[in-house]
Structure 1
């Protein structure tokens, strides 16, 4: 382990759901599937680096594709899923929404990453 870990101060999906219910209305359980979706990557990388996968502007738009454009609460109120995703990411990332470039821009290229890839100039284009 690298020594970088989530701490007790980092929200559990349920705590994000409670925050959502305070912000948007409804019950925490109505928001829990969305917040659990963002944190599912903890099962594969159990430290803060798991956030590089979904805690970004891309992750927010992917969440919207999975859950639809709005979440209908038991009260009948509809909440944009994008706003719920933004809330989750901003709570975990200190008030900012990183881009994929922010997360991966300095990732070193390794030989296995480009194995079998052709140069763009070798493409099948016109």
Structure 2
């Protein structure tokens, strides 16, 4: 979705209230657009673990302006489902990341023997 406001409008249709009731939660999910302004920003919070992180940030439930108590987890699930059509795990996102040499920090004091990653491409410090 192009803007978190539209996620908030969908939340209103599901649970009542006004978009502003949900805006902070949906903006948090999409806040990673400040880091990377394409769909890859979703790797940071659009997954099952991100939904549980939202509970830590916003609490287990929120009460909207209509007086209805709504679980934050359901709001997070709605956001991720709207964007992806399913709820991936962080591991699903991580498997899509192409490993690169700069991701492996080898200490200058490490023994000279190195093992090789399962894919056979990158050295892994022993």
Name the TM-score, length of structure 1 as normaliser.
0.79
Report whether the alignment pairs 1:97 with 2:92. no
Instruction: Report the structure, 1 or 2, having the larger strand content.
Output: 2
Check the 8 A contact 1:11/1:92 in 2, yes or no. Answer: no
Per-residue CA distance 1:73-126 (angstroms, 9 max, x = gap): 123211000000000000000x2001111111142333332315789xx7xxxx
Per-residue CA distance 1:28-73 (angstroms, 9 max, x = gap): 1100000000001111111111111111111101111100000111
The counterpart of 1:31, out of the listed 14, 22, 38, is 22
- State which structure, 1 or 2, has the greater radius of gyration over its C-alpha atoms: 2
RMSD: 1.9
- CA–CA distance in 1 between the matches of 2:96 and 2:18? 40
Report whether the alignment pairs 1:113 with 2:103. yes
Ranges in structure 1 where 5+ consecutive residues have no aligned partner: 1-9
Partner of 1:45: 36
Check the 8 A contact 1:64/1:82 in 2, yes or no. Answer: yes
Runs of 4+ in 1 over 6 A off after TM superposition: none
- CA–CA distance in 1 between the matches of 2:96 and 2:16? 40
Ranges in structure 2 where 5+ consecutive residues have no aligned partner: 116-125
Name the TM-score, length of structure 2 as normaliser.
0.79
